[in-house]
Amino acid sequence: MIRIAAVGDIHLGPDSRGRLRPALAGIERQADLLLLAGDLTRHGTPREAVVVGEEVGGLAVPVVAVLGNHDYDAGRPEEVTAILAGHGLQVLERSATTVRVDGRSVGIAGTKGFGGGFAGRSGGEFGEPEMKAFIRHTRDCADGLRSALDRLAAEGCAVRVALLHFAPVPDTLAGEPPEIYPFLGSYLLAEAIDGAGADLAVHGHAHLGTEHGLTACGVRVRNVAQPVIGRAFAVYHLHEPSGPA
């Protein structure tokens, strides 16, 4: 059994210093790795990123993250990524990494993702260049996620997890106003997950959403935004070959 801890939307800033770290003490007794599903900061400033690094870095388990829309707000995502990496976090964007757990290789493929909507209520690459660019960015994120998952499969990973900020399915958005669903995620992300295959997908972003969902092909999706899970992190158990509990 592989134990995956996950949380998103922790939104740390200078006044948050020392608040999260106590809740992460002893995490190695509950989980084998920790996934951070974006919106780690409030405005994506280097000062805020330092706080995230101090709170989450140096744990007894590997920490893998993606950035969220808040982490891009200041226009300095590269600096945020570098600061987090300096504290020992692996930050993914259309890329993948592997973690060894009891001799098994656990693969994590990550992307921030983007919006666009879901079946029957989605945008398309048509019309104004701004609209085309919007959907093209989502498609690029989805294509990068699928390529990363495919690489992990080729490497023979025991389990594969898709780590995102934006939602791949509408199930986990239940509770949010339907009018904003197109800005909370995209079906293209779910198509990438189903096309390559995964054992679990986790995301954040939807603070008023629901924890549990499924892709069309039955991949379990979990919304781990901290306001949704209501605790420092949630833990999910992955079993071979039956998938997550």
**Adjacent-strand bridge partners of 97:** 108
What is the radius of gyration, based on Cα positions, of the chain?
A: 17
Q: 185 is in which domain, residue-wise? A: 2-244
pLDDT at position 51, please?
A: 98
Which of 163, 169, 151, 165 lies closest to 108 in space, CA to CA?
163
Q: What is the pLDDT of residues 107-153, one digit of tens each?
A: 999 999 999 999 888 988 889 999 999 999 999 999 999 999 999 99
Confidence of residue 158 (pLDDT cuts 50, 70, 90): confident
Which residue in this structure is represented by tokens 């973690």?
99
**How many domains is the chain built from?**
1
Around Cβ 118, how many Cβ atoms within 10 Å?
20
pTM, rounded to two decimals = 0.96
CATH number for the domain including 148? Answer: 3.60.21.10
Write the CB contacts of 177 (distance below 8 Å, at least 6 apart in sequence): none
Instruction: Convert the pLDDT of each residue in 24-54 to its tens digit.
Output: 999 999 999 999 999 999 999 999 999 999 9
Is the pLDDT assigned to residue 241 strictly greater than 80?
no
State residue 125's pLDDT score: 85
Q: Tell me what the mean pLDDT of segment 93-98 comes to.
A: 98
How far from chain centre, in Å, is Cα 35?
7
CA angle 118, 120, 123 (to 5 degrees): 60
Question: Is the separation of the CB atoms in 68 and 10 below 8 Å?
Answer: no
Q: What is the dihedral of CA 231, 69, 108, 10, to 10 degrees?
A: -20
